Amino acid sequence: MCAPSTPADLQLLRADHAPALLAFEETNRAYFAATVPDRGDAYFRDFGARHRALLAEQADGLCYFHVLVGEAGEILGRINLVDVAEGSAELGYRIAEKAAGRGLATRGVRQACGLAASAYGLTGLRATTTLDNPGSRAVLARTGFVPCGTITLDGRPGTAYTLTL
């Protein structure tokens, strides 16, 4: 039996998302660190300044940061397009532990890919994940990403992917 769907609205990151985004990152820190490199204490200590810097990068068109906002206003995930250059960007995403396994990442990545092409004028995306992160590998496969090489991420073997939009 499949887990029930978790409704969420994909929104471009704004200044007023900061408190909910910090809560999301703090609540899920250990969960994320099991599969991706930990952000480190400085990330949390300097969160306000970092959030403002991300918004400045976004305003300059260097990155597009998105949050998945649940019905109660809580952030359930992040889907980011970073290092935008020459029609391409790197896709990254993370979903809250309480919302994992319900198709939220797949739906959010599909939406972000649509925005990448239609709103941001991108023609391709890149992504990476470690071999010990089967959920992320499944999301990339379901959304059309194709493996294109091997990588090492935080000392762990992984795969690089591409998607033509």
The DSSP bridge partners found for residue 146 are 162
Q: What is the pLDDT of residue 1?
A: 37
Assigned domain for 143 exists: yes
Alpha carbons 114 and 25: distance in angstroms, whole number: 25
147 contacts 161 by C-beta, under 8 angstroms: yes
CATH code at 88? Answer: 3.40.630.30
Q: Which domain holds residue 27?
A: 8-164
Rounded CA gap, 75 and 60, in Å?
24
Please name the helix (run of DSSP H) or strand (run of DSSP E) that holds residue 151, with its range, or none.
Answer: strand 146-153
- Domain contains 134: yes
Residue 109 lies in a domain: yes
**90 domain residue, yes or no:** yes
Percentage helix, strand, coil, to 5, in the chain?
40, 35, 30
Residue 1 lies in a domain: no
d(CA 18, CA 149): 35
Place of tokens 């319900």: 102
Q: What is the CA radius of gyration of the chain?
A: 15
Q: What angle do CA 68, 89, 115 make, to 5 degrees?
A: 45
Q: What is the DSSP string of 57-120?
A: HHHTTS-EEEEEEETTS-EEEEEEEEEEETTEEEEEEEE-GGGTTSSHHHHHHHHHHHHHHHTS
pTM of the model as a whole? 0.92
Predicted confidence at residue 2, as pLDDT, reads 42
- The answer as to whether 55 is a domain residue is yes
At residue 121, the pLDDT reads: 97
Could you tell me which of 113, 68, 62 has the C-alpha nearest to residue 91? 113
Judge whether 3 lies within some domain. no
Q: Given this model, what pLDDT does residue 83 score?
A: 97
pLDDT of residue 36: 79
Please give the tally of structural domains in the chain: 1
Asked whether residue 2 is assigned to any structural domain, the reply reads no
* Per-10-residue mean pLDDT, the chain, length 165: 67 97 97 87 96 97 97 96 98 96 96 97 97 94 98 92 98
